[in-house]
Amino acid sequence: MSNRETFIELINKGYTFKNDSIVLGGAMLDKEALPNTLVKLPLKMFNRHGLIAGATGSGKTKTLQIIAEQLAAKSVPVLLMDIKGDLSGIAMPSAGHPKIDERHAKIGIPFQADSSPVEFLSLSEEKGARLRATVSEFGPVLFSKILDLNDTQSGVVAVIYKYCDDNNLPLLDLKDFKKTIQYVTGEGKAEIEEMYGRISTASTGAIMRKIVELEQQGAEVFFGERSFDVEDLCRLDENGKAMVSIIRLTDIQDRPKLFSTFMLQILAEIYATFPEEGDLEQPKLVIFIDEAHLVFDEASDALQDQIEAIVKLIRSKGVGLYFVTQNPADIPESVLSQLGLKIQHALRAFTAKDRKAIRLASQNYPETDFYEVDQLLTELGIGEALVTTLNEKGIPTPLVHTLLRAPQSRMDILTEGEINNILKQSNLLRKYNEEIDRKSAYEILGQKIDRAREEEHKENMQAQRQKASRTTSRRQRKSTFEKIISNTTTRQIGRTIARELTRGLLGVLGIKKR
């Protein structure tokens, strides 16, 4: 058997599954496509997470688009984090092109244009249904990790949450939390110390500074009501296709703290809300995190530990996480080791450091006798990738150089008018874009602070009036005496008495002198 025949047999055996799967592309050997040797991804293993990596312009975003639209067609809901703003085209069918037909002929599958039902979501001022969460929903542990607090400061946050729970004070947004800090270090200090012990003003000052830092990245837009229900990510349309929810994040690239905060919250909410499912025949939800390095670059050690824990645990909820980034080194090794699907596009070797990174990247993949992996990584064309996944028994499939199929949907962004038309039909937009600002800790404690200050003001005024009254009384007594002294008759009598006394004294002196 020739090397080519051995390879074809290996790929056909390694990528044939009992259960449903999606076609990613066709196998390549010696840089030539092998017709009808298909590379498939089993739906059953999509909750085992994955990585799509490659240099800028190598085609990884289109690979994301291919997988997302194929999953939606199989009734698997998808959540996309659109950092660059180039994924909206999945809502419209491809216009087709002779090069696309040529590519699919090499792979051995027909090309058919199609689109996916899309819902646009927004974390900021971008158009779309607003994503929000309350401070209460974060809980003291997660909120402390986001703020990167030490143990002492985290203890203070726990006390603040406990006080608000005990006194029915809703913590909805950041101004609620800030007002509570103001209260427990001011007017309510004695009350707090009696119930929960002393709180250091140094700790509350540090917490306040961390909140201000978070606010400067626009987090006040994210915290509040109405809270987003993660079950709304798992909808199907009337044709049985799953919804592709696209979070438009083009305006938060320079705000990684907000992005990582949102990511951790939504993953924690999904984990807390979704029931335990085990291994399903297909996932309940698949999440693609584009420009994933933004999640980890600014994340504290505590935040990374939390993300790692969720990655390990969330698969049992039927949820798959897929990180899209330029280099596998952008993902912490503890997370990278949890990823079952790995799709590696081209890497560029411009420096000695780049070449070292490529050698390290090549070691992330199963050994193969058919490719020089480190060399091939620098020679991959656009729309080509090295692929390995897990088969239905959880065993890595053979590494294969893959010619990827073209997206069935548009490979360009939607126009402003097309986006507006989709938004007009959105039920989520009407549900979540209503501004709600019900009575919460900010208003309740604000009233308590105002009443305390009013009482203090009244006491001060009363004290001042009493002081003024005593001063007036003394002045009145002094004034009566002064009136007597200043009276004309009194002054005349006084002068007469003084004159007579003087005369008497002089008379006495005169008698003695004689």
| Domain positions in the chain | 3-132+225-432
User: Residue 507: is its pLDDT beyond 70?
Assistant: no
Q: Under a CB-based contact definition with an 8 Å cutoff, are residues 343 and 387 in contact?
A: yes
Q: CB within 8 A of 337, min separation 6: which ones?
A: none
Arithmetic mean of pLDDT, 250-257: 73
Arithmetic mean of pLDDT, 278-305: 81
DSSP secondary structure letter of residue 244:
E
Q: What is the pLDDT of residue 241?
A: 94
Q: Under a CB-based contact definition with an 8 Å cutoff, are residues 242 and 115 in contact?
A: no
Sign of CA dihedral 447, 451, 457, 461: positive
How far is the first Cα of the chain from the last one, in angstroms, to the nearest whole number? 165
pLDDT in tens, 461-496: 676 777 766 666 655 555 555 555 555 555 555 555
Given pLDDT bands bounded at 50, 70 and 90, which one contains residue 502? very low
pLDDT in tens, 375-392: 999 899 999 999 999 999
User: Residue 345: is its pLDDT beyond 90?
Assistant: yes
Q: What is the pLDDT of residue 512?
A: 45
Q: Is 169 helix (H, G, I), strand (E, B) or coil?
A: coil
Task: Describe the strand order of the beta sheet including 32-42 as a list of residue ranges.
Answer: 32-42, 21-29, 400-404, 384-388, 341-344, 50-53, 319-325, 285-289, 78-82, 244-248, 118-122, 129-130
Token pair listed for 118: 């899309």
pLDDT in tens, 415-461: 999 999 999 999 898 888 877 766 666 777 777 666 666 665 566 66
Token pair listed for 381: 């064309």
Sign of CA dihedral 6, 9, 12, 16: negative
Given pLDDT bands bounded at 50, 70 and 90, which one contains residue 161? very high
User: Residue 22: is its pLDDT beyond 80?
Assistant: yes
Q: What is the pLDDT of residue 484?
A: 52
Q: What is the pLDDT of residue 430?
A: 86
User: Residue 1: is its pLDDT beyond 80?
Assistant: no
Q: What is the pLDDT of residue 486?
A: 54
**In the predicted model, what is the mean pLDDT of the chain?**
84
The CATH number of domain 3-132+225-432 is 1.10.30.50: no
Q: What is the pLDDT of residue 338?
A: 86
